[in-house]
Amino acid sequence: MDLKIAARMTAVLALGAAMTAAFMALRGDGSQDASSPRSAHPGGEPARVELARCRDIGMAAVSDEDCRRAWAENRRHFLQSSHPAAPYAAPSVDKDQSRLLPLQPAELPGKDDQMQPPKVAP
C-alpha cells in the first residue's frame, strides 16, 4: 500500500515539474536568438534609440529639434500605406438605369381615390 502512495506522489511531482518546465519554456526569458530581426541592430534601430532618448528626457523633448524630427519620421513611417492610394476618380455619369422604375408623374389623390374604411352597420 505504501508503495502505491509513493508511486502516485512521484508521478504527481514529475507531472508538476514537467508543467513548470513547459510553462517556463513558453513564457521565455526575454532573450532572443540569432534569427531574430532585432539582432541585426544590436542597439536597436536608430529611430527607436532616438525615440527612447526623447521619452527619457521628458518635457524637454518638446523643444528638442532632434526629437521633433524623430517623431515626424515615426509618424510618417507609421501612417505610410503599404500600397499607394489611387487618385480620386469622379464617378461615371453613365449609370445603369435598367433596374429603376420608369419615372411617372405624381398624381394627387382626390376624394374618390382615398381609401375609406368599410362602414359597419350597427
Instruction: Output the pLDDT for position 34.
Output: 47
32 in Cβ contact with 38 (< 8 Å):
yes
Grid cell at residue 65: 529639434
Q: What is the pLDDT of residue 79?
A: 83
DSSP class of residue 109?
-
How many residues does the structure list for the chain?
Answer: 122
| 78 and 86 Cβ atoms separated by less than 8 Å | no
Q: Where are the domains of the chain?
A: 43-79
- Global pTM reads 0.34
User: If DSSP codes are grouped into helix, strand and coil, which group holds residue 57?
Assistant: helix
Of the chain, the end-to-end C-alpha distance in Å amounts to 96
- In the block, residue with C-alpha cell 532618448: 53
**CA-to-CA distance for 74 and 63, rounded, in angstroms?**
17
Which pLDDT score, from 0 to 100, does residue 63 have? 92
Residue 36: per-residue pLDDT: 47
Print pLDDT tens along the chain (122 aa): 689 999 999 999 999 999 999 988 888 765 555 444 444 445 557 788 899 999 999 999 999 999 999 999 888 888 876 666 666 666 666 777 777 777 766 665 555 555 666 677 77
